[in-house]
Amino acid sequence: MNCPNCGEEITDEEATFCTKCGNPLETQPKSSDLVLAAAILTIIAAAFTAGMGYSAIYQYNYWSTSLTPPIPPEVLGFLIFGIPSIIASAFAIAGAIFMLKRKYIILSMLGVILPLVSVVVTYVTIYQNDLLTPMTGLGFTGTLLLSQISIIIFSILSAILVYKSKDEFT
């Protein structure tokens, strides 16, 4: 690297001033691809979260129109975890956008954490309302399990990457 003022060769890569003329050296922040990887993982987690929410709302609509009144109260459980999943996916996408802009680390982390919260809400709702009965079928249960595991993995990896690259955020 050379001094932009006097042209002196600077051998110390971490120097902030030229040793000959004293001119401050422009140091460009080292950008890494960690933030990009975190944003991509967050978008993937958001897609799984939105899919889980859509699937729950679809199940609610199907069972609430298929069953004759009175509709069992556990059918409402689909809405209880479907709507928070959709909201969490919207926050995750917004968090990923903030990650790509390298701004607002708190909102970026919120976008990573809310899909994890939706997984917990989903699990508690399913457990409390006993939604994993033969009424929902094995396909729905398998979809939920795949989605939850994927969301957990992608969100945790994304959180680690955002934390490691926190210095890049303004």
Same domain, 3 and 48: no
Same domain, 129 and 153: yes
Non-local CB neighbours of 61 within 8 Å, separated by 6+ positions? none
The CA distance from 48 to 51, in Å, is: 5
Q: What is the band of 121 on the pLDDT scale with cuts at 50, 70, 90?
A: confident
3-class secondary structure, 17: strand
pTM of the model: 0.71
Residue 4: which domain range? 1-29
Same domain, 18 and 38: no
Digit-coded pLDDT (tens) for 83-100: 999 999 999 999 999 888
pLDDT of residue 87: 93
The CA distance from 135 to 22, in Å, is: 76
Neighbour tally for 133: CB within 10 Å: 11
Same domain, 56 and 140: yes
Residue 133 has pLDDT above 60, yes or no: no
Same domain, 124 and 68: yes
Same domain, 24 and 47: no
